[in-house]
Amino acid sequence: MHNEDRYKEIRKTIAARVNDYARSINDADTDAAEQIWSTSDDVTLIHPRSHEHGWDQVKTEFYEKTMRDRFSQRHLEVFDLSIYPYESVVIVEFYWVFDAVFRIDGSAHQTKGRETQVFHDVNGQWLLKHVHYSGMPVTGEREGF
């Protein structure tokens, strides 16, 4: 298979993996997440509330304590997906809208942002190794520094 064909197939696979990731967030489903993420100690997740190191922290601090326990409803919508495959690594960029309902009082919550993900080929399976997400770009004269 030529690299162009191989990369086309990888892009298709990774797009499906990103959709699976969004579904795992929407359902706060750690079993589904374990099928997407590498469950090793070298995975990382950087988000506005923390910086998780290792699958155990990602699972407990992000999926369980943040997504499951904090929100009664979640909906992550991904758009403007860009996928950059290399030999054994794929870098993904996208924008997102996250709508949720706080468990504590039933109030609605929405955030918008952008995300970078790094997938690594582990024995023929593309697994998520790193996520970094942040808010939308700021464009004011004295913002973003």
Averaged pLDDT of the chain: 94
pLDDT value at residue 1: 56
Residue 99 has pLDDT above 70, yes or no: yes
Where are the chain's structural domains? 3-135
What's the whole-number mean pLDDT along residues 93-122? 97
For residues 38 and 128, is the Cβ–Cβ distance under 8 A? Answer: yes
Distance, in Å, from the CA atom of 15 to the CA atom of 82, rounded to the nearest integer, reads: 9
Give the pLDDT confidence score for residue 44 in this predicted structure. Answer: 98
Residue with tokens 């609605």: 108
Q: What is the pLDDT of residues 60-83, one digit of tens each?
A: 999 999 999 999 999 999 999 999
Phi, psi of 103 (to 5 degrees): -65, -35
CATH class of 3-135: alpha beta
* Predicted pLDDT of residue 48: 87
**47/51 Cα distance (integer angstroms):** 6
Mean per-residue pLDDT for 131-144? 85
- Helix, strand, or coil (residue 102): strand
Q: What amino acid is encoded at 118 in this protein?
A: V
